[in-house]
Amino acid sequence: MASSARIGRWNNVQGNARLASFALRMRILILNGPNLDLLGTREPNIYGARSFEDYLGDLKRAFPDVTITYHQSNVEGELVDRLRGSVADQDGVVLNAAGYSHTSVALRDTIAVLSVPVVEVHISNIHGREEFRRHTITGGACAGVITGFGLEGYRLAVAHLLQRG
């Protein structure tokens, strides 16, 4: 094995160990907005045929040392309340505000004042959809936006929060 390959493998092991040790303390809220309780049945050609609850089990198994809390609401005010409450007991938030991403100044203003990082996730590629979906009001206040990778976007968001620390 070439020395650079060994160094690369060692750095990867060290990086994974750092992630694992930090993950032991990490608490992440996954917050889904309107109609995401219908995943698996709502427009499966866009959002897939799998329910979020089914995927959530896989996500928790992928990050066994992370405490993942999940909440879904169709009510904008409940999403605001959950975001504000996340400061007390979470280290990061994965947010899919769904349609509210494009319309909610209240959610955007809440994200902007939080002391925990928020990563916005969209299951579909919003840039390849209707014009009104191509811009998010909330995304500009988030640490980042992940769009178009299906449910895998949630795993990418959790991994980012872990690396970010």
| Active site positions, annotated | 47, 122
Could you give the strand order of the β-sheet that contains 27-32, starting from the edge strand earlier in sequence?
67-72, 27-32, 92-96, 118-122, 144-147
**Measured distance CA(111)–CA(113) in Å, rounded:** 6
Q: Containing H/E element for 8?
A: helix 3-23
48-62 pLDDT per residue, tens: 779 999 999 999 999
Q: Model-level pTM?
A: 0.82
Asked whether residue 24 carries a pLDDT value surpassing 80, the answer given is: no
The position carrying tokens 């390959």 is 5
Superfamily holding 3-164: Dehydroquinase, class II (3.40.50.9100)
What are the sequence ranges of the domains in the chain?
3-164
Q: How much is the average pLDDT of 2-28?
A: 49
| pLDDT at res. 42 | 79
Q: Give 61-79 pLDDT, tens digit per residue.
A: 999 999 999 999 999 999 9
Q: How confident is the model at residue 7 (pLDDT cuts 50, 70, 90)?
A: very low
The tens digit of pLDDT for each residue in 86-139 reads 999 999 999 999 999 999 999 999 999 999 999 999 998 887 777 866 789 999
